Amino acid sequence: DAKTTQPNSMESNEEEPVHLPCNHSTISGTDYIHWYRQLPSQGPEYVIHGLTSNVNNRMASLAIAEDRKSSTLILHRATLRDAAVYYCILENQAGTALIFGKGTTLSVSS
Amino acid sequence: DSGVTQTPKHLITATGQRVTLRCSPRSGDLSVYWYQQSLDQGLQFLIQYYNGEERAKGNILERFSAQQFPDLHSELNLSSLELGDSALYFCASSVGRWLGSGTQYFGPGTRLTVL
C-alpha cells in the first residue's frame, strides 16, 4: 500500500504563505491525494483533494508534482485559526484503503 | 456542525468490559467511516461501511466490530477492553463509496476512557 511522509511540525507567521509538503513516492496512478486538518479539540475537516492537476479552493491550493510522488498544500496567508494538524491522505480509486500520514502540526505566530 | 452525530460524547468503563459507540451520518450520506485517535498513534482508520456493507478495513482489532444498519446509522462495538483502547473515536460520513466522490465529514467524537 502507498504511504505518505510528512514533517512532524512546521512554524509560520501570521499572514505569510505556508507550504506543507507530503511525500508519497509509491503512489499509484489512480490514487487520489486528500488533505484534511484537525483543529484543537475538534474532529478533522476537509481541506482539498486532487488527482493529477493542481487544485484551488477558498481554503487552500494543492500543488501536485508532475510525477505525483509528492504534493504540497499551500495556505496563501496563514491565520491563527490555521494552527492545526494537517493530514495528507491517499485513497485508491477502488476505495479499499485509506492511508493517513502522521500529520504535520502547524504553529502560527502573530 | 458537520451534521454527523456521535453518542455518547464521553464513556468511562473498566477493563474487560464491552461498549457500543453510535454514529448517525449526514442526511444522504451512504458511507460511514470509523477512526481511532490516541495520543501516541495519531489518527488511525478502522473500518468503512457503504450502504450497509463493509467496504474497507484498516487497523481494526479482532476485539472490535462494526455494522451499518438499514437506516444507515452505524455502531462500533469494542469488547474485552484494555487500557490501551482509551482514545477518541471518530465517525465520519461521505456520499459515495470512496472519498474521490466527495468530502468526508467528521463527527465530534466519543472519548473512551478505560480504567
Vertex B21, ends A86 and B83: CA angle to 5°?
75
Of the partner residues B45, B55, B90, the one whose CB lies closest to the CB of residue A43: B90
Q: Residue holding cell 453518542?
A: B7
Residue A29 is predicted with a pLDDT of 84
What span, in angstroms and rounded, lies between the C-alpha atoms of A104 and A88? Answer: 9
Q: Please, is B29 exposed, middle or buried when counting C-beta atoms within 10 Å of its C-beta (0-12, 13-18, 19+)? A: buried
Q: What mean pLDDT, rounded, does chain A reach?
A: 90
Average pLDDT for residues B29-45, to the nearest whole number?
88
Q: In a mutagenesis test of the B interface, which of A28, A46, A92 is the best target, namely the one with the most B β-carbons within 10 Å? A: A46
b/e code A34-49 from CB counts within 10 Å (16+ = b): bbbbbeeeebbbbbbb
CA-to-CA distance for B23 and A77, rounded, in angstroms? 35
First to last CA, chain B: 31
Q: What is the pLDDT of residues B47-78, one digit of tens each?
A: 999 999 998 888 899 999 999 999 999 999 99
Greatest CA span in chain B, whole angstroms?
40
Q: HSE of B41 in the Cβ direction (CA atoms, 13 Å)?
A: 15
Q: In this predicted model, which residue has the larger pLDDT, B34 or B40?
A: B34
d(Cα A60, Cα B37) in Å, to the nearest integer?
Answer: 25
- Measured in angstroms, the CA of A17 and the nearest CA of chain B are apart by 25
Tell me what pLDDT residue B85 has. Answer: 96
Q: Do B56 and A93 touch (CB under 8 A)?
A: no
Distance (Å) of CA A11 to CA A6, A47, A79, A84, A96: 14, 19, 12, 11, 34
Any CB–CB contact under 8 A between A8 and chain B?
A: no
In A1-103, which ranges are E strands?
9-13, 18-23, 32-38, 45-50, 55-56, 61-64, 70-75, 84-91, 98-100
Q: A96 contacts in B (CB within 8 Å)?
A: 55-56
Give yes or no for residue B40 having a pLDDT over 80: no
Region A51-63: mean pLDDT is: 93
pLDDT recorded at residue A98: 65
Q: Is the pLDDT of residue B101 over 80?
A: no
Write b or e for each residue in B78-97: b if 16 or more Cβ atoms lie within 10 A of its Cβ, otherwise e.
Answer: beebeeebbbbbbbbbbbeb
Mean pLDDT of A68-94: 92
